[in-house]
Amino acid sequence: MAQTSSMKLLGARNMSCIVERMEWNNKMDLIAYGTEKGEVVIQRLNWQKIVTFPTPGEDVRVRSLSWQMDETLLAVGYSNGKVALLDAESGTIISGLIYEDDIKKVYFSKAINSKENLGTYTCNVKDKHRKFLPKLQPMTNIDPCLKTLDQKSFPKGSPCFLVVIMRSGKVHLLLLGALQAGSIDLTQHILHPQEFDVYDVRMNGDCNAIYALLRDGQELILLHFQNQVLQDCMAPMLELATHCAHILETKNYINDTQQCLTEAWETVQLEMDNKLTRYANSQPYGVISAHFLELHVFGFATFEVEEFLTLSEKGFKKIANSVDLSLSNLQSLVFKQLNGAAINMFYFLNTIAGFGRMSHFFESLISPDVANEAMRACGAFVLKVHELQRTIDTLAYDMKLFHAWMIFTILRLSHQEIPDDLVLTEEENIAMADFICAMEPELDDRSDDEDELDSQSETPPPARSKFNLERVGQYLDNAYLTQPYPRDPIQLWEEMVAENECLSHCKLFVPHDTNLSLVQQRDKMFNAIDAVFHKPTESISGSFKVSSTVICNDLPPMEPGEDLRDKDIVTCSYYVNEAARSDMLACTISGQEAMILEFSRAGDDSVRCTRITLEPGLFTTSVPEDFCYLRFVDLQFYNESSLSILAQSINAGPGMRPHSFFIQFSLTAALNYSTQHRMGPLVKLSETTMSQSIHDIVDGAAFKGLDGFSDMLAVSGSRKVATVLSDRKRKMTIFEMEIEEEEDDTEMSQASFLDISKESVLAGVPDAEKQEA
């Protein structure tokens, strides 16, 4: 028999645009919804908007929303293949991923209980590195708005999996949102890939198996995958994933520092791009060095040099101070930020290499040789950073000496008094002469024919060297160095490596490639680091084995070229019942039938099946006519003992407005009508189960009438709220659940629910007008 119970209307709003997805936070009064414009809005129970995240591109739709358990972190899947992790508390994008295919669904698994998966390995995911490594300085010079999705920090909180389901059937697992923890292609495990669609893929409560609900030809099936690596190596995986997150954050920090370095170097060039550069560009190549050397050695200035030196001493000091400040900023970025990040990276890679030596725990996750090669690449990057630091120090010293000499020369030619601190020593004079000689590096020998072709060509010649600033700028280009750093004869190790080529190829020593730029060395290090994390992905992906195939029901045939999204009759919901150690899956198998499966994780390999229908049974009596002709619209688990169902009337009479019903179905009352099955290689539930009318289940279903056509449902048992989307997804109605019976003033009858639209309209009318109404 149909029952009625209490629900309290909290409010209803007509939305400004179509709402396509809704999801309640299980801990806080926050609901997230995605609009047809691709925006994601987070608001409170009282309709107060917290933050609105804009669409990532034109014509992009929101495919899925999922809150991390007990956190303010929201995972969003978009139709263009992007997955973004949004923080409702700070209103920022934490991190993001980009895939090449349309997203079906993204969700966070339950929090991994490491105590249940430790085994003999002690997992300590706390940040031990903070005891040994100084905290990296923040990037104050970079605009946060300029950061791309992959340049942000990774989320913190309870360890869990982020599961990304693609419409093509590929499923990707990410541990802590950082470590690629395997993938699976569902089309490789079905018989009819041309008639395929994936409805949902869920990890079990122990995070070592997967349930995949999909269409295979004309059958709705559920595949159960076991994974031995996930079962045996969860604690080592958590340890590796934590270090992977630190490494990815350090990679992002290095990229940010590289961006700041490029901006700081452009500032140096901008400061030089004044009278100094204009004078250099106005002279033939090689003349500047000759004229300055003549002025330095003999004290004779040509007419061009005298015209150039008409700049006042005060103006030249201003230019010198600006250039010195810019170079000082460049030195700080390299010495503090870049060098600190490189040392942090070496520490994390060294730790992972140490994990690789514990083969009993990490054999399937880490290859020691690949980890050691990544360490060598990181060491080479550290050497390249020190090389750049020495190059900048040399340039800063030379430019400071050059500016002092220029001020000295201006004062001497203008017959002014020269301070003693401007007089150069013998060593400084020699260094100044070397700097002048190196101002314009020798160009490659070119024939007369090549010069003539260049003069006839419309292509501009390559940029001129401006006081040989390319010594630093070449390190920031993705090209080989044109002026490698000269070998220091005082360094005995460099001499030894030069004389013994075998040392440069020995894996016990860090290689130092003097021809690579900083950008090339960074990319080489990143590629070596990426290779470290290929093995866990390959090991976990190869360990997925189908342990059971459950045939749920037959589906209508698929027409050629038909898009299953146009008439999708399958909707599903998943819930992990920790108290009973079981995984619960509810899905509609036709317009009027649904199946509730409960998989045991207690070791007995059993599944309990409850099959229900909205139609009256053969012996159903005393059912209102409105309850007899319904179809499923949506369903969600309210908690472990209740299933919330949204149903729609099938045949409304002429001139009658169609109506919907909110049904609270008791899973406890339906236990007597369920069947128990053993999980084997093949389980045919379609042949061994029968549907039971929800009207015949005593105290099983509580109906609440809703006005109009309802489209979507979102419930939260922990928050005791339910949200119904209606009127072509433009009206959102929020209810409070589990109202006590004695609260007669707030209890709503079925008739009052049919007046929801009127109450929502009156909610925006002044009190005086309400009384008249």
- pLDDT: is 654 or 158 the higher one? 158
Residues 589 and 670 in one domain: yes
- Does 413 lie in the same domain as 281? yes
Q: Check pLDDT > 60 for residue 581.
A: yes
Residue 197 pLDDT: 92
> What is the C-alpha separation between 548 and 543, in angstroms, rounded?
15
Cβ atoms of 345 and 254 within 8 Å: the answer is: yes
In this structure, the answer to whether residues 282 and 402 fall within a common structural domain is: yes
> What is the distance between the alpha carbons of residues 294 and 302, in angstroms, rounded to a whole number?
9
Model confidence over 330-342: pLDDT tens digits? 888 888 889 999 9
Instruction: Quote the number of domains for the chain.
Output: 3
| 274 within a domain of the structure (yes/no) | yes
Contact 497, 530 (CB under 8 A): no
Residue 470, token pair as written in the block: 């390319």
| Pair (371, 508) in one structural domain | yes
Residues 684 and 734 in one domain: no
Same domain, 618 and 519: no
Residue 740 is predicted with a pLDDT of: 66
Domain CATH number, residue 57: 2.130.10.10
Residues 385 and 407 in one domain: yes
Mean per-residue pLDDT for 253-277? Answer: 78
pLDDT beyond 80 at 20? yes
pLDDT at res. 496: 79
Query: In the prediction, which pLDDT does 92 show?
Result: 86
Q: Which range among 28-42, 343-357, 645-659, 713-727 shows the weakest confidence by mean pLDDT?
A: 645-659
Model confidence at 77, pLDDT cuts 50, 70, 90, reads very high
Contact 478, 520 (CB under 8 A): yes
pLDDT above 80: residue 634: yes
Token pair for 562: 């038909």
Provide the domain limits for residue 32.
Answer: 1-108+712-739
pLDDT mean over 188-197 = 91
CA dihedral over 650, 654, 660, 665, signed as positive or negative: negative
The pLDDT assigned to 564 comes to 52
> Is the same domain home to 730 and 635?
no
pLDDT grade, residue 741 (50/70/90)? low
Number of Cβ within a 10 Å radius of residue 332? 13
Is residue 152's pLDDT more than 80? no
Q: Is the pTM of this model over 0.85?
A: no
The verdict on residue 611 lying in a domain is: yes
Mean pLDDT in the chain? Answer: 81
Asked whether the predicted pLDDT for residue 655 surpasses 60, the reply is no
The answer to whether 632 and 692 have CB atoms below 8 angstroms apart is no
Do 242 and 369 lie in one domain? The reply is yes
- pLDDT tens per residue across span 360-370: 889 999 999 99
Mean pLDDT of 387-392: 89
pLDDT of residue 702: 87
Question: DSSP string of 228-270?
Answer: HHHHH-HHHHHHHHHHHHHHHHHHHHHHHHHHHHHHHHHHHHH
pLDDT higher for 513 or 565?
Answer: 513
Same domain (yes/no): 275, 410: yes
Instruction: Give the CA dihedral 329, 330, 334, 335, nearest 10 degrees.
Output: -50
